């Protein structure tokens, strides 16, 4: 076919007809997500840097080790790690076009994420009401709630995204050809998990 040859002769690079695959062989959306995550690293880095520069400088008020519930936050960390696993399993199921298990693993990931957020809400509530630690109490309160609050907001956003994907799947509007869309949600989810590992270690574990 003349047009096909001309197209090839003009050096059409796309291996598939998929217009999303580019010069590097990667999907545009995947490259975009990686860049976004790099940017988000700088965001959390600035917040963590703020926390560290004010660590130990609070005037009065409760300090970290007066209030932290390490067993609870360890459970949160485990839950989030587990959710990364279920995310990987969801993708694997989608690859095999096993929509039943894709849906189950997606839902599990979202629910685990919601559990994480629930733990955090409980933690914030306990700090504010029982320990007298609020945003305006001291530097620890200001930096802690802001940093972990933004992380929790990221998790919440992820949960909403995953539920959206799950809902699309349930309505029969998601299949293997949408693999990349689910994959980038997965990348985002793993990132949020890794940031939690960093926060958990730097803020909760290190004295």
Partner 1 sequence: MATHAAFMPGVKKEAAYTGVWSWITTVDHKRIGILYGVTAFIFFLMGGIEALIMRAQLARPDNNLVSAQTFNELFTMHGTTMVFLAIMPLSAAFFNFMIPLQIGARDVAFPRLNALSYWIFLCGGLFINSSFLFAAAPDGGWFGYATLTTRQFSPGHSIDFWMLGLQILGIASMLAGFNFIVTIVNMRAPGMTLMRMPVFIWMSLVVQFLVVLAFPAITVALILLMFDRFFGTLFFAPAAGADPLLWQHLFWIFGHPEVYILILPAMGIVSEVLPTFARKPLFGAPVVIYSGIMIGFFGFGVWSHHMFSVGMGPVADAAFSIATMLIAVPTGVKILNWISTLWGGSIRFTSAMLFSLGFIAMFTMGGLSGVMHASPPVDLQQTDTYFVVAHFHYVLFGGSIFGLFSGFYYWWPKMTGRLLDERLGKLHFWLMMLGFNMTFFPQHYLGLIGMPRRIYTYAGDLGWNFWNMVSSIGAFIIALSILVFIINAFKTRRSGQVAGPDPWDARTLEWAIPSPPPIYNFAAIPTVHGRDELWLQKHGDGHGGAPTPRPATPTAQEIAAIHMPPPSYWPILLALALTFMLSGLLISTYQIIAGGLLVLYCMFKFALEYHRPAQETH
Q: What is the C-alpha to C-alpha distance for residues 147 and 199, in angstroms, rounded to an integer?
A: 8
Nearer to partner 1 (CB atom), residue 18 or residue 66: 18
Q: What is the C-alpha to C-alpha distance for residues 169 and 184, in angstroms, rounded to an integer?
A: 16
To the nearest 10 degrees (0 to 180), the angle between helices 139-170 and 99-130 is 160
Q: What is the C-alpha to C-alpha distance for residues 156 and 150, in angstroms, rounded to an integer?
A: 10
Of 85, 92, 138, 186, the one binding partner 1 by CB under 8 A: 138
Q: What is the C-alpha to C-alpha distance for residues 172 and 140, in angstroms, rounded to an integer?
A: 48
Contact of 13 with 23, CB cutoff 8 Å:
yes
C-alpha distances (whole Å) from 182 to each of 16, 39, 51, 98 are: 19, 21, 33, 14
Shortest Cβ distance from residue 167 to partner 1 (Å)? 10
Residues 47-76 touching partner 1, rule: CB under 8 A, are: 47, 50, 53-54, 57-59
Per CB under 8 A, which region of 23-31, 83-91, 100-108, 187-195 contacts partner 1? 23-31
Nearer to partner 1 (CB atom), residue 38 or residue 70: 38
- From the list 110, 194, 199, 116, the residue with the least C-alpha distance to 160 is 110
Q: Does 100 bind partner 1 (CB under 8 A)?
A: no
Shortest Cβ distance from residue 36 to partner 1 (Å)? 6
Contacts with partner 1 by CB under 8 A lie at: 2-3, 6-7, 9-13, 16-20, 22-24, 26, 28-29, 31-32, 35-36, 38-40, 42-43, 45-47, 50, 53-54, 57-59, 135-136, 138-139, 141-143, 146, 150, 160, 164, 168, 172-178
């Amino acid at each position: 076919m003349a047009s096909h040859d001309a197209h090839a002769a003009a050096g059409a690079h796309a291996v598939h007809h998929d217009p999303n695959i580019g010069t590097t062989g990667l999907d545009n959306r995947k490259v975009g997500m990686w860049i976004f995550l790099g940017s988000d690293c700088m965001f959390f880095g600035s917040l963590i840097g703020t926390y560290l520069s004010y660590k130990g400088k609070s005037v009065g008020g409760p300090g970290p080790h007066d209030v932290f519930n390490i067993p609870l936050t360890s459970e949160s960390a485990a839950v989030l790690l587990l959710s990364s696993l279920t995310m990987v399993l969801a993708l694997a199921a989608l690859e095999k076009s096993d929509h039943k298990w894709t849906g189950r693993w997606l839902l599990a990931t979202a629910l685990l994420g919601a559990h994480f957020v629930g733990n955090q809400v409980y933690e914030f509530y306990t700090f504010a009401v029982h320990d007298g630690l609020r945003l305006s109490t001291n530097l620890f309160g200001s930096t802690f709630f802001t940093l972990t609050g933004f992380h929790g907001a990221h998790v919440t956003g992820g949960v909403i995204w995953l539920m959206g994907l799950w809902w699309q799947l349930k309505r029969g509007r998601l299949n293997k050809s949408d693999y990349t869309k689910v994959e980038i949600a997965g990348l985002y989810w793993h990132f949020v998990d890794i940031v939690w590992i960093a926060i958990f270690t730097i803020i909760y574990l290190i004295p």
